[in-house]
Every structure is written in C-alpha cells, then in structure tokens.
C-alpha cells in the first residue's frame, strides 16, 4: 500500500486560508468516507483534527474543515493562526487487511 | 482524562527482539480497538497493526507481517507489541493509538517510545 500523496509544504500569512490536498486511489480515499487528518507539532504526538472526511472532534476549532472529491481529500485551515504551524497528515481506511494508510505529510508554515 | 503511556523502547541490535507496552487509563479500555503507529525520525507516520477490543482479528502492515505480534490484556488495560527480527528500517518512534469501536480514526495517542536498531 503506497502512502497517500500530500504537498511537502504550504504557507500563508495570519488570517489567510490554506488548503492541503491528499491524493490516493479508489482503494483508499476514493473508496471510503473514512479520511482523517492529524496535526503534529515538533516532538509531540499527533492530534486528531478531522474524521470521516469532514467531521470535527469536540474542541477542534471550526477553522479546520475537511472535504473529499473522488480520490482526493482536502483539509482547509481558515483564518490561519501562529499555533497552526505544524505538520499535517491525512489517513484513509483501506479495507480490512491493509487497514490504514497515511499521507506523506505537509508542513504548514505561518509567515 | 484519556492517557496512553508507551514504554519499552531501547537500543537493540539488528536481528534482535523487543516488547513494547502501552498502559491505558481514563477510558473504558475494552470499548476500544487499539493500534500501533510508527514514525521514523524526521519521517512520516506509518500504521503498523490493529487489534479490536476482543482480539477477534488482527491486522498488520506488510512491512511487519510475520515479525511483529500485537496483543492486549483488557484486565490490565494494556497493549503490547512483540517485535522480532528487527532491522534498521524498524528504527522509529512507536505510538499506541485508540479507536472507538466501529470508527475508522485514531482519537487518542500516546507520546511514543523510541526504538533504535543499531549495532
């Protein structure tokens, strides 16, 4: 199972919006509405930001939103804030045996 | 408060074995499927293995199949990963993560334990 493809980096100024893409195949992203997104600050554990493509856990700001079209999922951060600077990983369920595949990761820089 | 605390990460020689543990607290452990996810230093996340609440099935990434064994002890609120035939490619931070039953995401993570395979 190959990793999902994400841009290596994206950047934006405070208050702007950035979108991170996550491209897979019909066997993962396109085949299931089970895409999740994780934020990881340096030296820290990942944190769930979006699940089931577009749902937010309690406590996650509504600046974070997810969507999917075909084999590509996206995470949009609106009203970018300094604390949003981190690495972001998408993840898709792939069916029983291979179970899950992560994206390559995207570094978000707040200019 | 949900807490997952991994332990057991050390420096081990190539070909060696190691057992990682993950102690869970703050939630009903046997309501959750548990996973191991790893991250090589400076690299991305890689899903390793899954065990549901009752251990009725187990899945592994192809990269560890036949070498790693996941298990759990619900009476001790603990998750384990037995790692055999270790190679340099297994050097990574190993995180345990929890998924509510019948969900397909990792809603809680531990802080990770570092396994270094080196002679």
Name the pairing type of β-strands A47-50 and B108-109. Answer: unpaired
pLDDT tens track for A49-97 = 999 999 999 999 999 999 999 999 999 999 999 999 999 999 999 987 6
pLDDT tens track for A16-25 = 999 999 999 9
Compute the average pLDDT of residues B98-112.
Answer: 93
Compute the average pLDDT of residues B32-52.
Answer: 97
pLDDT tens track for B53-101 = 999 999 999 999 999 999 999 999 999 999 999 999 999 999 999 999 8
Name the burial class of residue B41, with classes exposed (0-12), middle (13-18) and buried (19+) by CB atoms within 10 angstroms of its CB. exposed
B103 touches A: beta carbon within 8 Å: yes
Chain B nearest CA to A81, separation (Å): 23
Residue A98 has pLDDT above 70, yes or no: no
B62 touches A: beta carbon within 8 Å: yes
Closest CA to B24 of B69, B76, B59: B76
Closest CA to B64 of A72, A12, A1: A1
B40 touches A: beta carbon within 8 Å: no
For residues A104 and B26, give the distance between their C-alpha atoms in angstroms, rounded to a whole number. Answer: 31
A99 pLDDT tier (thresholds 50, 70, 90): confident
A47/B50 Cβ within 8 A: no
What is the pLDDT, as a whole number, of residue B85? Answer: 98
What is the pLDDT, as a whole number, of residue B13? Answer: 97
What is the pLDDT, as a whole number, of residue B36? Answer: 98
**Is the distance from CB of B79 to CB of B35 less than 8 angstroms?**
no
Chain B nearest CA to A55, separation (Å): 11
A1 touches B: beta carbon within 8 Å: yes
DSSP 8-state code for residue A108 = E
What is the pLDDT, as a whole number, of residue B106? Answer: 96
Chain A nearest CA to B47, separation (Å): 6
Residue A101 has pLDDT above 90, yes or no: yes
What is the pLDDT, as a whole number, of residue A43? Answer: 95
């Amino acid at each position: 199972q190959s990793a999902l493809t994400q841009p290596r980096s994206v950047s934006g100024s405070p208050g702007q919006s950035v979108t991170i893409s996550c491209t897979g195949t019909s066997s993962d992203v396109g085949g299931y509405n089970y895409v999740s997104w994780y934020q990881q600050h340096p030296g820290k554990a990942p944190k769930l930001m979006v699940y089931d493509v577009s749902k937010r856990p309690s406590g996650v700001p509504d600046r974070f939103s997810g969507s999917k079209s075909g084999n590509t999922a996206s995470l949009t951060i609106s009203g970018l804030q300094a604390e949003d600077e981190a690495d972001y990983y998408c993840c898709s369920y792939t069916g029983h045996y291979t179970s899950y595949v992560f994206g390559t990761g995207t570094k978000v820089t707040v200019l | 408060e949900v807490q997952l605390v991994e332990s057991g990460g050390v420096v081990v020689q190539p070909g060696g074995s190691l057992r990682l543990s993950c102690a869970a607290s703050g939630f009903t452990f046997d309501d959750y499927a548990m996973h191991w996810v790893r991250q090589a230093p400076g690299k991305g996340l890689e899903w390793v293995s899954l065990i549901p609440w009752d251990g009725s099935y187990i899945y592994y990434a192809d990269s560890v199949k036949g070498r790693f064994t996941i298990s759990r002890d619900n009476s001790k609120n603990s998750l384990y990963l037995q790692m055999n035939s270790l190679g340099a490619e297994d050097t990574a931070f190993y995180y345990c993560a929890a998924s509510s039953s019948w969900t397909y995401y990792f809603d809680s993570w531990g802080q990770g334990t570092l396994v270094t395979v080196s002679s």
